[in-house]
Amino acid sequence: MIRIGLTGGIGAGKSTVAQTLISQGAYHVDADKIAREVVDRGTPGLAQLAEAFGEEILSADGSLDRPALAAKAFVSDENRQLLNSITHPLIGARTQELTDAAPDDAIILHDVPLLVEGHMAPFYHLVVVVHTDADVRLDRLVDLRGMEISDARQRIAAQATDDQRRAVADVWLDNSGAPEVLAAAAVAVWDERLAPFRDNVSAGRAVAPTIDDTADDPEWAALSARVVNRLWALVGAGAHAVEHTATTLSDDNPARPVLDMTVTVADLAAANALAAPLAAGGFPAVQSTDPAQRLHGSADPGRGVRIRVVQRSAT
């Protein structure tokens, strides 16, 4: 099982990618749908909102009047935090429930519009970003969705910037062309990256990278930061330090750098304890010739990563 985070700016064409990957077999978890579901009519979530913000946020039929809620919830940081304190735990619990119900061999597609804003990227095996220039998205929102231009501009401005999305993107899908071109690119990502990644994780198999990914990673520093953050999310308090120690050349492809990472732990028992979470997160163990360390590689065919898990030196 692997978890894929899908995101993109409003109007970028994320739904085209989601529908394409679902048709390939992805197990879809839609954050927007969950957010609506947990405050649907008659739910405990809606009752909590009404208690916090008043009965005025309810429509005549007892459902949530979203504009009325927005008028109350977004007038101050305090009210926004109150809203989040009610909805976020409910959304998180339902998301986990759906994830737990997924088949063991699933590619879980977590469709999250505010993935970047919520700092969620490290908790996925891969993040896929759908990109379209802001002026094109503006036209789509106004012409196709009927939004007022001021509202559309405000929504675009409130979301993450292109640079912020690019910093977390393992896969960058440009939607400047026709929808069928974007769909074809999504199928290629499934065939060449996602399905092999899932199979490698299931088999506990680290592989050499085989995909030319230089286009979506112009700076190796950004890639190393993503890997460091992902490793911290996996090892948590089980490590003293996680760092990018070197960038070397792949034995299979000398033109492709491989990231060498070091995870420092208290002792080899702690290193052994990290084997399972690292493997589940896409970094299975590989044989090491050094008995004083544990070695892991990447199961992602699009990334070259080697991880040394070492004991902290006594000082």
Q: How far is it, in rounded angstroms, from Cα 156 to Cα 137?
A: 8
Q: Which two tokens stand for residue 200?
A: 């490698």
Q: Which two tokens stand for residue 203?
A: 């088999």
CATH entry 3.40.50.460 includes domain 2-203? no
What is the pTM (predicted TM-score) of this model?
0.86
Give domain limits for the chain: 2-203, 214-311
Sign of CA dihedral 212, 248, 227, 310: positive
Q: How far is it, in rounded angstroms, from Cα 90 to Cα 96?
A: 10
Q: Binding site residues for ATP, as ranges?
A: 11-16
Residue the block writes with tokens 């009965």 = 55
Q: Binding site residues, as ranges?
A: 11-16
Alpha helix ranges (H) inside 38-76: 44-53, 66-73
Residue the block writes with tokens 């760092």 = 243
Bridge partners, 243 (sequence order): 262
Residue 70 burial (CB count, 10 A)? 12
Q: pLDDT 10s digit of each residue in the chain, 315 long?
A: 999 999 988 777 889 999 999 999 999 999 999 999 999 999 999 999 999 999 999 999 999 998 899 889 878 889 989 998 999 999 999 999 999 999 999 999 999 988 998 899 999 999 999 988 777 777 777 776 777 787 777 777 777 888 899 999 999 999 988 889 999 999 999 999 999 999 999 999 998 765 444 434 456 778 889 999 999 999 998 888 999 887 765 555 554 568 899 999 999 999 999 999 999 999 999 998 899 999 999 999 988 899 999 998 755
Look at the domain 214-311 and name its fold. Beta Polymerase; domain 2 (3.30.460)
Domains 2-203 and 214-311 share a fold: no
